[in-house]
Amino acid sequence: QVQLGESGGGLVQTGGSLRLSCAASGRTFRSYAMAWFRQAPRKERDFVAAISSNGGMTDYADSVKGRFTISRDNAKNTVYLQMNSLKPDDTAVYYCAAKNGGYSRTHYPGSYDYWGQGTQVTVSS
C-alpha cells in the first residue's frame, strides 16, 4: 500500500515557475514508477510526465516538453515536478500516481495503482 500527498500548487503568473512535490508513505516507494497527471475543469485526466523506479527513464507529454522536469529522490520517498514557463493552459489540478509492474503504458491513468488527492495550479494571464 502506498499513500501519496501532493503539495506546492498555487497561483502564478504566465511565465512563472512552480515546483510540485509528492510525498509517498511506505518502504516500497523505490519499486514504483511514478507519474504526474492533470485535470482541468470539464476535461479528462491527462498525462504530464513519468519517471521509472530508479529515475533512469523519463517521459513527457508533448505540451510540456522543454518546460517541465520530473525527478525523484528515493531516499526521501518524494517525486517532484518542476514547472517553468507556465501558461494559462497549464491550469489544472495536478495528481501524482504510483505504478507497480514496471515502466510501461505510462501515459494511461488506468495503469496506475495509487493516486494522490491533487493540488491546484492556476496560471493567470
Write the pLDDT tens digit of every residue in 21-73.
999 998 789 999 999 999 999 999 999 999 999 999 999 999 999 999 999 99
Tell the burial category of 66 from Cβ atoms under 10 Å away from its Cβ (0-12, 13-18, 19+). Answer: exposed
What pLDDT was estimated at residue 101? 80
Distance CA 67, CA 75 (A): 26
- The string of DSSP codes covering 59-98 is EE-TTTTTTEEEEEETTTTEEEEEE-S--GGG-EEEEEEE
Instruction: Decide: helix, strand or coil at residue 109.
Output: helix
Confidence of residue 102 (pLDDT cuts 50, 70, 90): confident
> If you average pLDDT over every residue of the chain, what do you get?
96
What pLDDT was estimated at residue 98? 96
Amino acid sitting at position 54 = N
What pLDDT was estimated at residue 104? 86
Neighbours of 103 (CB within 10 A): 19
